[in-house]
Structure formats: structure tokens, C-alpha cells
Structure 1
Amino acid sequence: GLLRTTDASAATPEVVFDTIAAGTPLREVTTPEQFADTALFFASPWARAVTGQNLVVDGGLVKN
């Protein structure tokens, strides 16, 4: 998904970020740091019982 702001999304207009943020329960676009926090969690011992999951890190934009 779209992360705020990476090399890949550097050319994305602010209005696009604002529109996406407005459509999420958290009212924000995921940052690279938030995504990294999630990856670190799954690499940690705290996630040892989590198996076979498809995780969407997008602040609730996609509702599964």
C-alpha cells in the first residue's frame, strides 16, 4: 500500500494522502516507521504463535 513518504510515494500529491487518510479509521496514512514496527513485531518472540496470516498494515483502509 501507500506509505507516507518513501521514494516510491515522493511524487504523490498531498491531496492524495489527505483523501486516503480521510478514508481510514485512524485518519492517517501509514508511515514507514509504523510498517517497520509491525515487521519487527512479527520477527519478535511475541509473535511466536502467529502462523499463516495475511496482514494488511494500512490504518484500516482495507477492511477484511
Structure 2
Amino acid sequence: MEGGINEYKGALWVISHDLDFLSQINISQNFKVSEQTLQMTTYLPSTPKQYYQELLESHKT
């Protein structure tokens, strides 16, 4: 599946919690839901430490 996604030339919305899968496809933009809005993340799943830290920071109250 990853190969097919990576070869596809159009845009796709991919929703997954599988970090390995997300790291294997060529994601160029990533979004999170924060404060009931869709926001672009600074980090991509290919940098898991920073990616997870950013997601955790967005859920602090």
C-alpha cells in the first residue's frame, strides 16, 4: 500500500494513528485538531520524537 501511495501524484487525506505507516509514506504536510480547529503541524511523523512532543504540547490545558 505504501508504494502505491508514494507513486500517486495527486493529493490524499490519510488518517491513521500508525506512526510506522505514516513514516513510510511521503507526507509533505500534517495536521492536528487543536482547540476545535485543524492546524498544520511543524513536525512530520518521520521525526517521531518532535512529532509526539508537538502533539502532547497541543493537548496541555
Verify same fold: TM over 0.5: no
Larger strand fraction of residues: 2
User: TM range, normalised to the smaller chain?
Assistant: under 0.3
Higher-RCO chain (CA-CA 8 Å, sequence separation at least 6): 1
TM-score normalised to structure 2 length: 0.27
Work out which of the two has the higher radius of gyration on C-alpha atoms and give 1 or 2: 1
